[in-house]
Amino acid sequence: MLFEPIALRELTLENRVVVSPMQTYSAAQDGAPTAWHIGHLARFALGGAGLVMVEATAVSPEGRSTEADLGIWTDLQESAFRNLVESVHACGAPVGLQIQHAGRKASTTAPWQGFESVTPPPGQAVIGPTDIGVPGGHVPQPILEKDMDRLIEAYRNAALRADRAGFDLIEIHMAHGYLLHSFLSPLANNRRDQYGGTLENRMRFPLRVVEAVRQAWPAEKPLSCRLSCVDGIGIGWSIEESQVLASALLSAGVDVIDCSSGGMVLPRKDMLVPRGPGFQVPFAKALKSTTGATVMAVGGITEANHANDILLRGDADLVAIGREMLVNPNWAVSAANQLYASHSWSRWPVPFGWWLARRARPH
Ligand SMILES: Cc1cc2nc3c(=O)[nH]c(=O)nc-3n(C[C@H](O)[C@H](O)[C@H](O)COP(=O)(O)O)c2cc1C
């Protein structure tokens, strides 16, 4: 099942192994990808992944978590991404872009520098649905209704640029406490206007973004949304609300729901989603069974047989692999070796597989 192709609109993935988006905080000052990003991502394409996702990429300057985040709001960034897309394609995989606005989690240092809040440059205020900030972080400026059009336009332009750069898929980052998730969750959104309060109101701004992106993004190309299916502390955003949102996303033309969790509050001891193998698979299963959506499972999936079983059980349609890909960029072709035994070398790039198949033969 892991190596069964899957069609998403006009894009057919050769297998169901997706490289999960992972921020590397390694962009040049101008937010453009460099030769380093190409090397990093092309390894996964050579390693047989069905789809390589580029890390969270900001739609506007103030939407970056750090100054080294990737961005897609200038011509220079767009043309650097075109180069990256061509390189990943040449190495054998389609490539998707995760588009992002960090919202109230913007303007920090990198994880290895402690995620410290830093003063944003002039004109790049940290914004959120309300002034409820992340503990110890910035106090966000509440977004006024008139600012929403500018933000939606930034997402729309990012989609247009991603298309021109040749990306095969876009994923809208609606998870992990960033801008769109913070509108959804009552833990960050206590607005009193039509963008806060009821579930319908909290979904309104994220859905406006999705509609604008879907309209700008070509009809033949698939659109994914990553959700935090629950906030994970017993209050806040729930799986039942995710089910309602997933239905609305499907109606808005979203093709894949990528099922993550958390990020609204800092990790703490009473988190209700303990980490372990496949710990978020139940969320993918819940959304798939109630809405019929094509879903992606992610989190703690490291073993080929486990990934295959998730698909065989019908809990998900795609599996995203994050950190284990950093350990082994050849994860997908290695999985083929495990699942298919002698026939697997044909899934490796021909210039490797031809030799490796001969090396594997008994003398
Ligand atoms: C270094 C690193 C960077 C990440 N950056 C992103 C990101 O840009 N966007 C996102 O949605 N998730 C991000 N995540 C979460 C991963 O995509 C993935 O969901 C998570 O690591 C769980 O999967 P895993 O257990 O296979 O690593 C990141 C995770 C790591 C370890």
Q: Per residue in 298-312, pLDDT tens?
A: 999 999 999 999 999
Question: Does 322 contact ligand 1 (Cβ within 6 A)?
Answer: yes
- Ligand 1 neighbourhood includes 309 CB (under 6 angstroms): no
Q: Which atom of ligand 1 is nearest to the CA of 260?
A: 19
Measured from the CA of 176, which atom of ligand 1 is nearest?
11
Cα–Cα distance for residue pair 51/122, rounded to 1 Å = 38
* Confidence band of 274 (pLDDT split at 50, 70, 90): confident
pLDDT single digits (tens) 155-183: 999 999 999 999 999 999 999 999 999 99
- Ligand 1, atom 31, lies closest to the CA of 323
- What are the pLDDT digits (tens) for 182-210? 999 999 999 999 999 999 999 999 999 99
Q: Indicate if ligand 1 lies below 6 Å from the C-beta of 96.
A: no
Quick: pLDDT tens for 105-116: 999 999 999 999
- Residue ranges per structural domain of the chain: 6-329
C-alpha 318 to ligand 1 mean position (Å): 16
Please, what sign has the CA dihedral across residues 254, 259, 228, 39?
A: negative
3-state helix, strand, coil in the chain (%, to 5): 40, 15, 45
User: Which residue minimizes the CA distance to atom 30 of ligand 1?
Assistant: 22
Q: Indicate if the pLDDT at residue 355 is higher than 80.
A: yes
Pick from 23, 97, 178, 328 the residue to mutate for probing ligand 1's pocket: most ligand atoms within 8 Å of its CB. 23
Gap between the Cα atoms of 139 and 189, Å rounded: 13
* Predicted local distance difference test score (pLDDT) of residue 315: 98
Coil, strand or helix at 222: coil
User: Domain 6-329 belongs to what architecture?
Assistant: Alpha-Beta Barrel (3.20)
Active site residue 25: no
Cα-to-centroid distance, 341 and ligand 1 (Å): 30
Measured CA distances, 204 to 200, 208, 219 (Å): 6, 6, 22
Residue pointed to by tokens 């859905």: 207
- Span from the CA of 21 to the centroid of ligand 1 (angstroms): 6
pLDDT digits (tens, 9 = 90+) for 252-271: 999 999 999 999 987 777 77
Please give the number of the atom of ligand 1 that sits closest to the Cα of 280. Answer: 22
Digit-coded pLDDT (tens) for 291-348: 999 999 999 999 999 999 999 999 999 999 999 999 999 999 999 999 987 668 889 9
- Predicted confidence (pLDDT) per residue in 232-245, tens digit: 988 999 999 999 99
Closest CA to ligand 1's atom 15 = 22
Q: Which residue in the block uniquely carries the two structure tokens 């083929």?
A: 336
Residue 50: name the closest of 345, 267, 325, 361 by CA.
325
Q: How far is the CA of 360 from the centre of ligand 1 (A)?
A: 34
Segment 1-47, tens digit of pLDDT = 999 999 999 999 999 999 999 999 999 889 999 999 999 999 999 99
Distances (CA, A) of 189 to 99, 137, 192, 342: 21, 16, 9, 54
Distance 187 CA to ligand 1 centre (A): 22
Q: Whose CA is nearest to atom 29 of ligand 1?
A: 22
Q: What is the mean pLDDT of the chain?
A: 96
Residue nearest to atom 23 of ligand 1 (CA): 299
Find all residues with CB under 8 Å of 358, minimum gap 6, and list them: none
Q: For the whole model, what pTM was predicted? A: 0.97
pLDDT of the residue at 266:
75
Q: Where are the alpha helices (DSSP H) in 2-61?
A: 35-46
**Residue 342 pLDDT:** 66
Say how far apart CA 82 and CA 61 lie, in whole Å.
20
pLDDT tens per residue across span 47-92: 999 999 999 999 999 999 999 999 999 999 999 999 999 999 999 9
